[in-house]
Amino acid sequence: MSMINYASREINCKLVYYGPGLGGKTTNLEHVYRKVAPSTRGKLISLATETERTLFFDFLPVDLGTIRGFKTRFHLYTVPGQVYYNASRKLILKGVDGVVFVADSQIDRMEANQESMQNLYDNMAEYGYDLTKMPFVIQYNKRDLPTAAPIAELQQLLNPGWEVAEADRQRLSPDPYHAGEYLTSQLATGEWIERATHFEAVAVTGDGVFDTLKAISKLVLKTLS
């Protein structure tokens, strides 16, 4: 959960990039780190394992304004993609304010994506977090590859939606990032479902990286205001 530093008048928020190994989590963070002003960012820390790295750094965006007179500092983390580092994954999720799931769009990575998504839900549940009730964004990375699956297929597998039980929320909610699409909608069976906001990306070139970051940041700020 967000922490308030009264001395610096900052609200510190934790964003975690989750997903399968080699899906683009690290590439996302490295791109953001290169592009934000050096005066607003902390040091990029890398904790290396034999096959992967956990990265984290913090930065203070200057264009998001203040909340009750406090600036907002974001702390960005990646988790190891390999399943056998699950203890590290769970530790990094502790106190999280928002989650970005970075999916690998390649068709042959669908099983790894689904396994990682289920692992995310399981680990969040162990902390008592409900992923459907907190800032959550999905990024479909590697959209430039010829082996990338169609977005509709990825949505069906990774973002099919969760049931909306509250009557006051059972109404169409347009997706602000995709014209003609809805985040909350009613199925033909009569059930209401809600999906996570999603973005397409090519993290190696930076395409979609800041769109994803801005969206999750806005959702976190909305929970604080």
Residues 104 and 21 in one domain: yes
What average pLDDT score do residues 50-65 get?
A: 78
130-150: pLDDT as tens digits:
999 999 999 999 999 999 999
- Rounded distance between C-alpha atoms, residue 96 and residue 85, angstroms: 18
Residues 82 and 185 in one domain: no
- Rounded distance between C-alpha atoms, residue 129 and residue 132, angstroms: 9
Residues 55 and 91 in one domain: yes
- Rounded distance between C-alpha atoms, residue 113 and residue 23, angstroms: 9
The dihedrals phi and psi of 163, each to the nearest 5 degrees, come to: -65, 140
Residues 66 and 35 in one domain: yes
Residues 178 and 128 in one domain: no
Q: How many residues does the chain have?
A: 225
Whichever domain contains 110, its CATH number is 3.40.50.300
Q: What's residue 147's pLDDT?
A: 97
What average pLDDT score do residues 67-74 get?
A: 86
Residues 41 and 146 in one domain: yes
Residues 168 and 220 in one domain: no
Domain encompassing residue 25: 3-159+197-224
Enumerate long-range contacts of 82-85, CB under 8 Å, 24 or more apart.
82/21, 82/49, 82/51, 82/52, 83/115, 83/119, 85/49, 85/52
What is residue 37's DSSP assignment?
-
Predicted confidence band of residue 85 (pLDDT cuts 50, 70, 90): confident
Predicted confidence (pLDDT) at residue 74 exceeds the cutoff of 90: yes
Q: What's residue 51's pLDDT?
A: 64
Residues 15 and 71 in one domain: yes
Residues 110 and 137 in one domain: yes
Which residues touch 31 (CB under 8 Å, ≥6 apart)?
203, 206, 209
Predicted confidence (pLDDT) at residue 6 exceeds the cutoff of 70: yes
Mean pLDDT of the chain: 92
Residues 101 and 25 in one domain: yes
- Number of domains the chain contains: 2
Residues 191 and 88 in one domain: no
146-166: pLDDT as tens digits:
999 999 999 999 999 999 999
Predicted confidence (pLDDT) at residue 59 exceeds the cutoff of 90: no
Residues 25 and 59 in one domain: yes
